[in-house]
């Protein structure tokens, strides 16, 4: 199901790279949330995308936003990826693919792999409503970060 601007964001609880539960509801009423779904840790475009966010995290913090990266990788793989790339925001494991599916961000077939997250960006405002949604069909493309930041302003 495709989500649109103004829709209520589906809530979730996922494990971060340390195996701790992170709940979307914990940020509602306090911060904006940027959800970045990405296909697979350690792939070149995903690495470039998330390192770009890492290098610009101060901008997101200045806009009172929490960035959460989500993939179907295990939290063990995400822990290694986060450490290798020195990422300074949460990476969440959607290993069971439920959150990616609820956001309409799941490939049926990704190079023969079933159920891989589509590269996507969602901005969720403090009220829990989607204020920006971008789901990319081509994994080689990255979200429009200028539009993501504009949605946070």
Collapsing DSSP to helix, strand or coil, 107 comes out as strand
Distance between CA atoms of 141 and 144, rounded to whole angstroms? 9
The answer on pLDDT for 1 being more than 80 is no
| Of residues 146, 140, 149, 152, the one with CA closest to residue 48 | 140
Active-site position among 22, 36, 46, 72: 46
For the whole model, what pTM was predicted?
0.94
Average pLDDT score over residue span 100-117: 91
Question: Residues near 85 by Cβ (< 8 Å), separated by ≥ 6?
Answer: 47, 50, 51, 54
- pLDDT tens digit sequence for 40-95: 999 888 888 999 999 999 999 999 999 999 999 999 999 999 999 999 999 999 99
Q: Which domains does the chain have, with CATH numbers?
A: 13-152 (3.40.30.10)
| Known active-site residue 46 | yes
pLDDT of residue 8: 96
Confidence band for 36, pLDDT divided at 50, 70 and 90: very high
Q: What is the mean pLDDT of residues 98-120?
A: 92
Q: How far is C-alpha 137 from the chain's CA centre?
A: 15
């Amino acid at each position: 199901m495709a989500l649109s601007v103004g829709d209520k964001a589906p809530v979730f609880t996922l494990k971060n790279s340390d195996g701790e539960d992170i709940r979307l509801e914990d940020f509602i009423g306090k911060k904006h949330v940027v959800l970045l779904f990405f296909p697979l840790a350690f792939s070149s475009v995903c690495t470039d995308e998330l390192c770009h966010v890492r290098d610009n995290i101060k901008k997101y913090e200045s806009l009172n936003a929490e960035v959460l990266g989500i993939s179907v990788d295990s939290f063990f793989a995400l822990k290694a990826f986060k450490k290798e790339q020195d990422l300074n925001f949460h990476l969440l494991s959607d290993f069971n693919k439920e959150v990616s599916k609820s956001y309409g961000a799941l490939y049926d077939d990704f190079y023969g792999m079933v159920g891989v997250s589509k590269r996507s960006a969602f901005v969720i405002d403090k009220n829990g409503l989607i204020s920006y949604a971008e789901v990319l069909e081509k994994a080689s493309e990255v979200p429009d970060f200028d539009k993501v930041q504009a949605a946070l302003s």
